[in-house]
Amino acid sequence: MKLKGAIFDVDGVIIDTAHIHHRSWETVLKKYGMKFTYADFKSKVDGLPRAKGAARILPRFTKEQIDHVFREKQKYFLIYLKKGRIKVFGSTVALIKKMKKRGIKLAMASSSRNAANILKKARLFKLFDIDAEGAFVKRGKPFPDLFLKAARRLKLKPESCVVFEDAQIGIEAALKAGMKCVGVKRDAKNKLKGADLIVGDLRELSIRKLESLFS
């Protein structure tokens, strides 16, 4: 099978807005007397669909209360995003552009509703052939649904695709989808396992090395 498609998680792989998401959650949860550290964000919320993340940090809240918290969190996220700068991982963008020149189809696949707008702000959205719109997938990671949806929209077989992920649940989802997976481990504390390759940064990769996964 030949490499024909590449599917990218967004936050932590292409851009870094984790600190903005954490600050937004921290601001809102403080109103409820809750302390919410960056470590809490990474272990309980980051990479998960909204409902699943909420269940972890707000187990006693009703759906109506959670919806209210989400609206508040989104309000602060947009405020902080407007004030701050989006960190872009240049090595990832460079690899994406090389893939595009080689005719490899490209998809962005994020569980966040903000991902597309952030990439548009960073002028990166047009690099992708499709947006898998992960926020609207019923079963989020670690289920494979998001990545399978991306492959369908790219009109490719799952086994011809490679996924780039920085979260363990994302790696598990990619493998369940029958795809190759590259784990991006930017933090030494982030204990990723199971991926076909694990790198600290995508500058460590070449298309030739990726294609060797499909040999």
20, pLDDT greater than 80? yes
Whether the CB-CB separation of 176 and 195 falls below 8 Å is answered with no
pLDDT for 21: 87
Residue 211 confidence (pLDDT) above 80? yes
- As a whole number, mean pLDDT of residues 107-124 equals 91
What is the reported pLDDT for 108?
97
Indicate the pLDDT class of residue 117, thresholds 50, 70 and 90: confident
Average pLDDT, stretch 190-205?
95
Residue 5 binned pLDDT confidence (cut-offs 50, 70, 90): very high
Alpha helices by DSSP H, listed for the chain, are 18-30, 38-44, 50-57, 63-83, 90-101, 115-121, 145-154, 168-176, 207-212
pLDDT at res. 183? 97
Write out pLDDT tens, residues 122-135: 999 999 999 999 88
Mean pLDDT value of segment 96-115: 94
Residue 8 has pLDDT above 90, yes or no: yes
Q: Which domains does the chain have, with CATH numbers?
A: 5-16+87-212 (3.40.50.1000), 18-83 (1.10.150)
**Nearest-5° Cα angle at 45, 152 to 182:** 45
The secondary element (H helix, E strand) that includes residue 32 is none
pLDDT tens, 26-67? 999 999 999 999 888 888 887 666 667 777 888 888 888 988
Per-residue b or e along 160-194, where b marks 16 or more CB atoms closer than 10 Å to that residue's CB: bbbbbbbbbbbbbbbbbbebbbbbbbeeeebebee
Per the prediction, the chain carries an average pLDDT of: 92
CA dist., res. 102 & res. 157, Å (int): 18
Residue 66 tokens read as: 């959670």
Beta-strand relationship, 15-16 and 87-88 = antiparallel
Mean pLDDT across 12-21? 90
| pLDDT of res. 45 | 84
